[in-house]
Chain A
């Protein structure tokens, strides 16, 4: 579970870094990924890998459309307006999904066969968990390589650091924003695609992924990808521990309380430095 939060948090970060926006439609990307995956793999019976690739591309395109249609046309928007736009967009995405896919829940088999488990020191771990961890690992490695070794990645980091300076250096910041939406939507789509066998999805599951992902992103320090991954995992583990040992009522409350306490003590998140926080005003 934590891995999914981590993936969602990564998505938040990528857009945040490029634009300073918190994209509240991020959860919707995860939901779309899950729904499409269920459709392609379970209904159309496409081979897994093909379905996965198609899903990720499709969700990424939705991200692109979102950016082109809603973010791009604005000339000089305030952060708050952008946030509201992403909220409105997420309502729309939800609505469209509801009409196309219906209101039922969709699920599918585990990637490696129904209900297969691996015995690990007495604890039975579903094989899907490894798929999820694997995807997280691949995404993290991919991002590290992308941001550090490729020109486009470096350009995006430059944008994150100082947008004006980056555009003066000839980096097409607008295109970078577009690309960041593409990338984070793709990551969201991946997260959705791997989670659907475990948790199933309907048109409303986006909000939960969104909140948890946002929580993880803030917890780890906005804009800090390493922080996002660790914080996502920590939140997931905290949740499981609370439900297992304390009270399942407060399963969601305790990690939140921990998050709040951390913020109060260290206002820029666990791994965020104050300077890197680059606090954006509303």
Chain B
């Protein structure tokens, strides 16, 4: 019974994703959707870490950047195949995540936030300072990042990028849904609820926390590689602290504790600024105001919000708390 229930929304979502390009033909809009896909990948991982395991990372843009730079450098400087570079990027990221995560995840609350924030800043400074390797502040300009080739199609046009990115996203989404509804997902949620009790039940919490940290790092790295091959230019700016904060914001705005929320949050925070382009300078005000509004009135995020709305319509009281806790 559980199985059917995770597959139905998935199937609906799949249909929407597949059919969207029939309505959205403009390359700009498609491009925005490609970015939604890329960012959803990161927020999905972050949602696993934050919403399920209850840990926070203010340094996730660093993993995102590591994937992007790994792809750029390995394909550009070393002439590797993009796929190999992507894999290597994920491997490197996993190692770094393990190395950083093992001591960091012993910390809690604001201390963990500071540790991950510090880590993110250090990685960003590395991108800036290692001019010979990364191209430094001007970005990676030694070679143009190649297009990626999937079997025999070169992913070049917006439409092919769209299907490529969302195809990967759909696969990862399915795997993620499986993880959530499994022994591992339960273990993660138990950590969120009460770490001591989780350990008392035999859950090796330290190992799971580091595990999920690594996994979310890998998601971010994969997204970074996709970003690098899509934009075909990497510079340190989009992988800085503000981006990390933005990623966390996406997860929270979307609604913690739900993978769908993570996707919704990424979609909102990518599409919103694009939609606000019209307002030019004022977009910073409107953006801030909308964010504040969401947090003030929908503390459960969009997803928690829709949940609450539905419950209000159905007049089932008493679940407000649930939306908040989730």
Contacts and interface: CB of A to CB of B under 8 A. Distances in A.
A–B contact (CB under 8 angstroms)? yes
Interface of A: 16, 22, 70, 73-74, 76-81, 84-85, 87-89, 91-92, 94-96, 98-99, 207, 211, 214-215, 218, 222, 247, 249-250, 252-253, 256-257, 259-260, 263-264, 267-269, 277, 279-282
A3 to B, nearest CB: 20
Interface string B267-298: 00000000000000100110111011001100
Contact of A99 (B114, B256, B285): B285
Contact of A96 (B117, B245, B285): B285
A263 B111 contact: yes
A260 B118 CA distance: 7
Interface of B: 50, 54-56, 103-104, 106-111, 113-115, 117-119, 121-122, 125-126, 128-129, 241-242, 245, 248-249, 252-253, 256, 281, 284-285, 287-289, 291-292, 295-296, 299, 324
B109 A279 contact: yes
A183 B315 CA distance: 44
B110 A281 contact: no
A88 B115 contact: no
B292 A92 contact: yes
B218 to A, nearest CB: 22
B285 A95 contact: yes
Given A214-B114, A259-B114, A264-B103, A85 B296 contact: yes
Nearest to A98: B284
Contacts of A264: 103-104, 106-107, 115
Contacts of B106: 264, 267
B121 A253 contact: yes
B121 A211 contact: yes
B108 A281 contact: yes
Contacts of A277: 111
A94 B285 CA distance: 8
Contacts of B252: 80-81, 84
27 contacts: A74-B296, A74-B299, A76-B324, A78-B299, A79-B109, A80-B256, A81-B252, A84-B249, A87-B245, A88-B288, A88-B292, A89-B288, A207-B242, A211-B117, A211-B241, A215-B118, A218-B110, A247-B129, A249-B129, A252-B121, A252-B125, A256-B118, A257-B118, A279-B108, A279-B111, A282-B50, A282-B109
A77 B323 CA distance: 12
B207 to A, nearest CB: 18
Contacts of B256: 80
Contact of B249 (A78, A87, A207, A280): A87
B111 A280 contact: no
Contacts of A70: 292, 296
Given A218-B111, A260-B115, A268-B111, A250 B299 contact: no
A77 B304 CA distance: 14
Contacts of A268: 111
Given A81-B252, A211-B121, A279-B108, 5 more contacts: A84-B291, A87-B249, A96-B285, A267-B108, A281-B54
B284 A269 contact: no
A252 B110 CA distance: 20
A222 B109 CA distance: 11
A85 B248 CA distance: 13
Contacts of B122: 253, 256-257, 260
A251 to B, nearest CB: 9
Interface centre among B118, B256, B296, B299 (most CB of A within 10 A): B118
